[in-house]
Structures are given as C-alpha cells and as structure tokens.
Amino acid sequence: MVDSYLDDLPITYLKGVGEKVAEKLSRLGIVSVADILFHLPFRYEDRSKVVAIGSLKTGESSLFEGQVELAEVVFRGRRSLLVRLSDGTGFVTLRFFHFSNSQKQAMQRGQWLRCFGDIKSYSKQGIADVVHPEYQLINEAQRGVIQEGLLAVYPVTDGLHQASFRKLIRQAFLLLQQGMGIRDCLPQSMLSQRGLPTLVDSLQQLHYPDTMPSLDASQRPAFKRLIFEELLAHHLSLSRLKKGVRCDVAPSFKSTGESRQRFLTSLGFELTNAQNRVIQEILSDLARSHPMQRLLQGDVGSGKTVVAACAALAATEAGYQVAMMAPTELLAEQHFKNFQLWLKDLGVQVDWLVGQHKGKTYESITADIAEGRSNIVIGTQALFQKKVIFANLGLVIIDEQHRFGVHQRLALRDKGAKTGVYPHQLVMTATPIPRTLAMLGYADLDLSIINELPPGRTPVTTAVLPVSKREQIIERIEKGVEDGRQVYWVCTLVEESEALQCQAAEVAADLLRECLPRLKIGLVHGRMTAQEKQTVMMQFKQQALQVLVATTVIEVGVDVPNASLMVIENAERLGLAQLHQLRGRVGRGQRESHCVLMYKAPLSKNASERLSIMRETTDGFKIAEKDMQLRGPGEILGQRQAGFMRFKVADLVRDAELLDQVALSAEEVLRIQPELVEPLVHRWIANSVEYAQV
Ligand code: ADP
Ligand code: MG
C-alpha cells in the first residue's frame, strides 16, 4: 500500500519550484505534483540513432555527427557564426546568431560535433541548414555512442523552458519510484475490461516511450487511457451538475391549459406532430417541483417560438412571470410583437426591455416587472441587469442560445432564484448539434428536438456562383421581384470591423439602386439604431421594400415569409453554421425559394467543400456534422468551450466513437466506485474551469 500520493503534494514540493514558478505553473492548471505528470509531450525527438548527414530530411529533427570543415563569422544583415560540418556523406551548415567567443574558438577544423536540430532547408548546392542546433563536442572515439533514446517535447510557456519541464517530470517519476503513488481514478475492473493500462504505466509510456509512438492516437493504449479518462471526467462533471439542479426546488405549474388551447386555436395553423410532442415534454417538466433544464433544438423555421409561447402560458396561468432572452434587440422586438399579437385576448401583459429603453420608459417597465404586472418580459441581456427585479419569476427562456455560454446560463438561473426556489429554464437553439457533441457538451440539459418543418415548405435551392456573375445575379433579382418575390442581399466581411461591414452594405445598396432603379431597396446594418433597423425591417415585412440589403444582423430569427430569394456575398468567408442560419431566412413561405452563394475565386479546398455541402443539402443536422469535421467542436459550441469543453487530450471528432462507452462507464463508476468521481473531476476539470472563468 502506498501511504502518500503525489496528488496531495503541492507542486512547490519539487526542487526548483518557488513561488514564482508555482504561479506560472498554476496558470497551466498545475497545482499538485501529480498535475505535472499530466503536462504531456506533444511530440518526441528521436535521439536514439545518428542520421548520416547525406540522409537528413527537411522538416525533421535529427541527431547527426560531423567534423568541422570551416567556421567563419559573417555579416549578412546580422552577425552570425556559420559552421560547416561533414561526415563524408554530405555537408550541413550550422547557423548561430548568438554565440560566445569561446564557442567560436572551439569550432576548430577537424573537431567532431554531435548535434541535434531541425533541418530547415537545403541550399542550392544541396547543403542542409540548421539554425541553433543543440550540440556537444565529442572526440572521434565517441562517435555513434548514444545514451539517449526518445526525448519528449513539452508545450512551454513564458519563462518555463523545455528543460524545466523535463526536470520536474523526472523528479515526479523519481518520487513514484521511491514508493509514492498517484491516484488511479479508473476502477481496476474497467481497465481490464477495456484493455487499458494503469495510470502509472500510461504516464511512463507517454513521457518515456520505448519506441517512437504512432501518430494515430487510437494505436496508443497509454494515450487512449487518458482520453477515456478525460471524457469520463467531463461526462461525470456535467451529469453531477444536472443532478445538483435536479435537487433544487422550482415552482410546479399545474395549469388547466385553457389559455394555451385558446392561443393555439387562434393561430390559424395546426401544430406539427413534433411541436406537439416537445410541448408535452416541456409541460411535464414544468409540472414538477424541480427546475426544468431543457434544450429545445429545432432547425431554422421549425416553429420554436410557438412552443416557447405555450411554455410561457403554462407559467402565467400558474401565476408566475416569464423572462425571455434574445441575442439582439431586433429579435427581442420581433418576439415581443408576436407575443403581443398572439396573447392580446388572453389578459396576459407582455413587455419588452432592451438597451434602448431609458429614463421614464425604463422606470415604468421595471416597475411593472418588480410589482408583478408584467407577465411575460422579452429582452436582451438588459433583462438581467441588477436593477431588474422580478416579482415572481418562474420560467426563463433563452432563444438562440449559441450566443450564450454555460456560465452565463448558470448565473442567470441564480439571478432568478428566490429563497432557494429556482426558475425553470428552456434553452432554444437553431444550431443543430451533432449527437456526439450533444452527449458531452450538453450533458447537463435534457434534449427536445423538433425534427419536422411545418408543412408546405419547399426546400431552398442553392446555387454557388463566382462574383464575376454578379450582373446575371442582379438580373435575376429583377425577374424575381417581377414575380412578386422579395429579396435579401447579404453583405459579409467577417474578419474586418463592423464599420467596414456596414460600409460594404452601403456600397452594395448604392450599386443595386443604380442597377435596379425601378425597385424599392432598403438597407439594414449593425450601426443603425434598433429603432431604425426595426423601421426598415417592418417596411420589408409589409412589402413596402422589395430588396433588403443587410449585413449578417439578419442572421438570427428574423421572419419574413414572402422573402424567397437570398444572395450572400463573400459566402466563402462564412462558416457552415452561419450560412445555414442565413439561408434559413428564406424558404419560410409557400413558394419555392432560392439562395445564391457568391464567392470570390480562387476557393480554398475547405471553402469549396463548405459551399458544396450547402448546395447539396438543407438538412441542418447533416450540415452540423460536416461543420464539426471541418472546424472542430470547439467552434461549434462557441463559448461553451471556454470552461467545460476545453480538452487536454481528447478530441471530440477523433474520439467520437468512444462517447457511447464513456456514457456507460460513467454510470458504472457511479454504481461501483462513486468515490472516484470527485478526484476524477478535480484532476481534469476543476483547475481549468476556475482559470477559464477569470
Ligand atoms: P424558428 O424555429 O426558426 O424560431 P419560428 O418560430 O420563427 O421558427 O417560425 C417560423 C414561421 O413558421 C413563423 O412564421 C411561424 O408562425 C410559422 N409556424 C410555426 N409553426 C407552424 C406550423 N405548425 N404550421 C405553419 N406555420 C408555422
Ligand atoms: Mg427563432
């Protein structure tokens, strides 16, 4: 039995770690001696064999030996020492920009050197070039006598060098050899069942491998074990969060459903089966006395707003207030108008609160909220300022949540909490999340999916055209308008500033007005006030405008069913999720819709793949899967990644196939050795989450 664990020793226990170094290490999440062993190498250098100079390859790091032929100090822009080495098979030039006199003196013709370095390039004469190699002077008898094997190379940070990490890790292993232990947080039975090595063996293999590790992570049991462990830690951490919430108390809404029935009857359309199903899922959550934590996923146009209204009515009928948060003022106002229209005969007071509300208006709205006259309040983040106090908040709805992070969401929940009673939460997103990702990234939420669009929608046909076809595209707009269509022209400039994007939209609007003098063309961009934006959007909705030139501000939520042609400029610069969102603005009415993705040639391989996916499918889930492959999961989860989803060794795309097993194993750990959960979560997540929150 081991009686002391590296997990319990502070990193300062190691030689060479004072306060300063400890502080730097803590920024990497390294706090205990055990933590340093999880600082893993990202590659290895093969120092086990001497490579003949004639066989050195560009881009490789190699060990080679040679005899000095020539050493000279040259001035080409800067003073440098050039040393030419030969071993009979070829020549190599060593280049030093910083060197001492004694270093130079040692480079006598005929002196043997053993060097290790990156082969940068070859000169025209076929001579390899190495900048600042590590080297040592050897005598001829020592040639080829190598003691080292594979050397791990660690990620470094400012002020902590490669050598420092190597020394610290070496010390930690010495402690292990002297009888200390490190906690293995996976049950022994699980290791044998899955054929995974113990923690100590894994770490040993990762830091000091016997043979050059394969590039393919799945071929490396040592690595696989840590990946598995990390994924498991994330899974357990989120399910613990979920369990914790499960224990909290929330108001239970037992409504007769009368107002919902009246609302649905007034709608003028039947709900889809999918909408009915998710409404039932939500209502049954709301009837319980624990907070609902539900993610409602439905592709653009699938009708999430109606579902949100039904949830809201369950709360108001039970006498509770509802806060609904949208990412933009434009969208908040659109929801506000919809809700007002829908609920006006039901005696429900709907208000909205956004940044533009100031002075008296602001005071009167917040007073209505505080005194409980407001039943449903729709707004932006402005809703969650300190000054806004709800009389009786029972349900929080967050629309288009990919804009909000998990921490914001939790903060929001706490804000609504009153004397230990928490509001229910419904999170709505139009960004389809691949199943694998949802299993981890959203393990703290229950999932409802609207997998069906309202009837009568025809899928959008998408064309991909180079910018040189602009004139034909403009002609197409004219024809479309003659047919009674309305048109979006979307200007995008992602990397540049918002100001530039707005300017580009102005230029595009001018150009279109010039080419299409008979058409009514409006412009909406991010630099206009919410009021101005709203006016233009209203004109477009009421068909007073035929063409709307817009920046990506229209990406979320805007609903104009008669718009059936969309042109997106610089489409090659946008990610798949954003293109999908934008395109979702058309195809909402009865008639067939078109989307033209305009690009500037030449297209990168990645961009061309993105555009063809957009042409091939309108299925949000397919697009999301592809997006995850092309961009990686971090980008898709957005802010979520900061914190929970920052992985040290796992990669959700590469390791997706492990996730099913991880879910099973999480249950198993909880069943057979629940005491492992805490140390496991602590090891992989605790430190990094704390730092991510700062
Ligand atoms: P999203 O899920 O993208 O938020 P919306 O809630 O904005 O979609 O709905 C898109 C449009 O479809 C709206 O005009 C809405 O009134 C309409 N709609 C919603 N549900 C149905 C339905 N079952 N049948 C017909 N139209 C519907
Ligand atoms: Mg919406």
Q: What is the per-residue DSSP string for 267-279? A: TSSPPPHHHHHHH
Model confidence band, residue 694 (pLDDT cutoffs 50, 70, 90): very low
Of ligand 1's atoms, which has the minimum distance to the CA of residue 307?
A: 6
With a cut of 90, say whether residue 614 has pLDDT above it. Answer: yes
Minimum-distance ligand to the CA of 556? 2
CA–CA separation, 128 and 262 (whole Å) = 81
For the chain, domains (ranges, CATH) are 49-147 (2.40.50.140), 183-247+677-694 (no CATH), 258-450 (3.40.50.300), 460-617 (3.40.50.300)
First to last CA, the chain: 39
**566-593 burial, b for 16+ CB within 10 Å, e for fewer?**
bbbbbbbbbebbbbbbbbbbbbbbeeeb
With a cut of 80, say whether residue 116 has pLDDT above it. Answer: yes
- Rounded to 5 degrees, what are φ and ψ at 461? -90, 135
Looking at residue 646, its pLDDT comes to 66
Query: pLDDT above 70 covers what percent of the chain?
Result: 90
Query: Is 271 close to ligand 1, i.e. is its CB under 6 Å away?
Result: yes
CA–CA separation, 556 and 401 (whole Å) = 11
> What is the arithmetic mean of pLDDT over 260-287?
95
CA–CA separation, 636 and 442 (whole Å) = 12
Model confidence band, residue 334 (pLDDT cutoffs 50, 70, 90): confident
Query: pLDDT above 90 covers what percent of the chain?
Result: 52
Minimum-distance ligand to the CA of 400? 2
CA–CA separation, 613 and 629 (whole Å) = 12
CA–CA separation, 324 and 343 (whole Å) = 15
Q: What is the identity of the amino acid at 514?
A: E
CA–CA separation, 478 and 322 (whole Å) = 45
Most confident of 136-145, 306-315, 336-345: 306-315
CA–CA separation, 122 and 190 (whole Å) = 51
Spacing, Cα 302 to ligand 1 middle (Å) = 6
Partners of 122 in the beta sheet? 128
Bigger pLDDT: 653 or 551? 551
Looking at residue 436, its pLDDT comes to 66
Q: Residue of the nearest CA to atom 19 in ligand 1?
A: 303
In this structure, are residues 235 and 227 in contact, taking their beta carbons and an 8 Å threshold?
no
Tokens at 177, concatenated: 């050899």
Looking at residue 1, its pLDDT comes to 58
Spacing, Cα 305 to ligand 2 middle (Å) = 6
- Reference 307, options 254, 253, 262, 271; nearest CA is 271
Using H for helix, E for strand and C for coil, what is the string for 542-565? CCCCCEEEECHHHHCCCCCCCEEE
- Reference 395, options 312, 489, 480; nearest CA is 312
Bigger pLDDT: 140 or 327? 140
In this structure, are residues 644 and 613 in contact, taking their beta carbons and an 8 Å threshold?
no
Q: pLDDT for 431-475, tens place per residue?
A: 767 666 666 666 667 889 998 888 877 789 999 999 999 999 999
Looking at residue 327, its pLDDT comes to 80
Looking at residue 690, its pLDDT comes to 40
Query: Is 303 close to ligand 1, i.e. is its CB under 6 Å away?
Result: yes
| Contact partners, residue 489, CB within 8 Å, separation at least 6 | 477, 508, 509, 512, 547, 548, 549, 550, 566, 567, 569
Model confidence band, residue 533 (pLDDT cutoffs 50, 70, 90): confident
- Rounded to 5 degrees, what are φ and ψ at 289? -95, 25
Most confident of 152-166, 167-181, 665-679: 167-181
> What is the arithmetic mean of pLDDT over 18-27?
91
Of ligand 1's atoms, which has the minimum distance to the CA of residue 275?
A: 23
Q: Which of 267, 276, 302 has most ligand 1 atoms within 8 Å of its beta carbon, as the pocket-test mutant? A: 302
Per DSSP (E only), the strands in 357-437 are: 376-379, 393-398, 424-429
- What is the length of the chain? 694
Spacing, Cα 330 to ligand 2 middle (Å) = 12
Spacing, Cα 579 to ligand 1 middle (Å) = 20
CA 669 to mean position of chain CA atoms: 28
With a cut of 60, say whether residue 426 has pLDDT above it. Answer: yes
Q: Residue 256 in 3-state DSSP?
A: coil
Looking at residue 644, its pLDDT comes to 46
CA–CA separation, 386 and 373 (whole Å) = 19
Of ligand 1's atoms, which has the minimum distance to the CA of residue 302?
A: 2
CA–CA separation, 125 and 383 (whole Å) = 70
Please spell the DSSP secondary structure of 303-372, one letter per residue.
Answer: -HHHHHHHHHHHHHHTT-EEEEE-SSHHHHHHHHHHHHHHHGGGT--EEEE-TT--HHHHHHHHHHHHTT
In whole angstroms, how large is the CA radius of gyration of the chain? 31
CA 197 to mean position of chain CA atoms: 31
